[in-house]
């Protein structure tokens, strides 16, 4: 059901088309790569970013090598299809389940998704943006889900990723925010941010502040409450957020606004960068991480003390409603005891 079509022109450029029941045909043409990001939503690598495209120029590849690489592509495509089919078999309708009020997600696997398909890393980030849009729309449709907190970009990413990748990702974030801004307002989705926004490029930081202020004003003026609070954690690290919260409380104490005995979990939570989300919907009930990794990666460490964790093998760009249904189903089958026992009948200290 999947076919690979190959042709080589006199200029020795190559074309590779993949067709399958799940994917429409798409040409990858080595002779059509412009040098910069286009405004049509498709990315072509500049020389500095060409290392993100595994595989080499057609002039140094034989026809056998290209067809061998096409076979590898088919294997990689089958990986995600098998995972999706497995997840589909155990998912169920969310209308019959107990749903979380606050969902958090670590959107992992954009680069791996791109490498499997021999396309630039930024294309993986583009598809990851599309996956987030799908999830936001889905969460906004579920009445029980009031907040979605997404790990968009960590402070470690900022320091450790290649400069050209980070800069391209910032441009994508800014363009996406401008594009999604009116749609979010129309659909009743309020946007907030967590993390060190001021350290981002000036234009992106200013846009984040504008979008958040506009969303707050729109929510205050609306007669109906927002359907969903979307918090984007950008240049965020939970450890740094905890340190910053402690500093804020120390500053308040030094100004005489706070006594040591006033500090408790509730007050500390209110000093965190995610306080808007936790005030709105409490701490996260469910945290989803994609792409097979099973760790927190410095995300919501304080807020996730009793959060149910769900790990999916599907890479983030391929994460869809079927995958989310499985996460919701897993959540609905768990018993949350918060340190107690279901059969406890005796008197407690609370």
pLDDT digits (tens, 9 = 90+) for 98-132: 899 999 999 999 999 999 999 999 999 999 999 99
Q: 7 falls in which pLDDT band (50, 70, 90)?
A: very low
pLDDT value of position 335:
86
Neighbour tally for 88: CB within 10 Å: 14
pLDDT value of position 106:
98
pLDDT value of position 340:
77
Q: How many Å apart are CA 271 and CA 299, to the nearest integer?
A: 16
pLDDT tens digits for range 188-200: 999 999 999 999 9
Neighbour tally for 173: CB within 10 Å: 21
Q: Which among 157, 244, 298, 313 is annotated as catalytic?
A: 157
Strand order in the sheet with 102-106: 189-194, 228-236, 147-154, 102-106, 286-289, 308-311
Please name the residue that has the structure tokens 């590779």: 16
Q: Which among 52, 108, 155, 285 is annotated as catalytic?
A: 108
Contact yes or no for 241/278 (Cβ under 8 A): no
283 belongs to the catalytic site: no
pLDDT value of position 222:
86
Which of 231, 224, 254, 245 lies closest to 150 in space, CA to CA?
Answer: 231
pLDDT value of position 298:
98
To the question of pTM greater than 0.95 for the whole model, the response is no
16-30 average pLDDT score: 39
Which of 319, 318, 301 lies closest to 309 in space, CA to CA?
Answer: 301
110 belongs to the catalytic site: no
pLDDT tens digits for range 146-161: 999 999 999 998 899 9
Residue 91 pLDDT more than 60? no
Contact yes or no for 105/149 (Cβ under 8 A): yes
Top pLDDT among 60 and 213 is at 213
């Amino acid at each position: 059901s999947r076919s690979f079509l190959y042709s080589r022109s006199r200029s020795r450029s190559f074309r590779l088309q993949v067709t399958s029941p799940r994917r429409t045909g798409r040409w990858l043409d080595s002779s059509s790569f412009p040098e910069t990001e286009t405004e049509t939503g498709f990315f072509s690598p500049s020389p500095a970013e060409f290392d993100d495209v595994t595989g080499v120029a057609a002039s140094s590849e034989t026809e056998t090598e290209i067809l061998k690489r096409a076979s590898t592509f088919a294997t990689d495509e089958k990986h995600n299809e098998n995972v999706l089919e497995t997840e589909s078999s155990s998912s169920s309708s969310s209308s019959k389940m107990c749903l979380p009020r606050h969902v958090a997600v670590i959107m992992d696997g954009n680069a791996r998704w791109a490498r499997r398909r021999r396309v630039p890393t930024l294309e993986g980030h583009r598809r990851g943006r599309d996956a987030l849009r799908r999830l936001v729309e889905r969460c906004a449709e579920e009445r029980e889900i009031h907040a979605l907190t997404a790990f968009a970009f960590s402070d470690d990413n900022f320091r450790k990723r290649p400069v050209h990748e980070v800069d391209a990702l910032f441009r994508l974030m800014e363009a996406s925010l401008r594009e999604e801004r009116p749609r979010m307002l129309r659909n009743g989705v309020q946007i907030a941010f967590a993390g060190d926004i001021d350290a981002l490029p000036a234009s992106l930081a200013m846009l984040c502040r504008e979008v958040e202020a506009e969303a707050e004003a729109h929510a205050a003026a609306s007669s109906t409450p927002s359907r969903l609070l979307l918090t984007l954690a950008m240049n965020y690290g939970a450890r740094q957020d905890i340190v910053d919260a402690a500093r804020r409380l120390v500053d308040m104490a030094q100004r005489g606004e706070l006594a040591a005995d006033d500090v408790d979990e509730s007050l500390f939570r209110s000093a965190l960068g995610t306080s808007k989300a936790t005030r709105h919907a409490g701490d996260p009930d469910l945290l989803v991480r994609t792409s097979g990794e099973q760790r927190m990666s410095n995300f919501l460490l304080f807020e996730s003390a009793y959060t149910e964790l769900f790990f999916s093998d599907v890479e983030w760009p391929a994460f869809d409603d079927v995958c989310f249904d499985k996460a919701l189903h897993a959540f609905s089958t768990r018993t949350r005891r918060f340190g107690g026992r279901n059969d406890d009948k005796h008197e407690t200290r609370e």
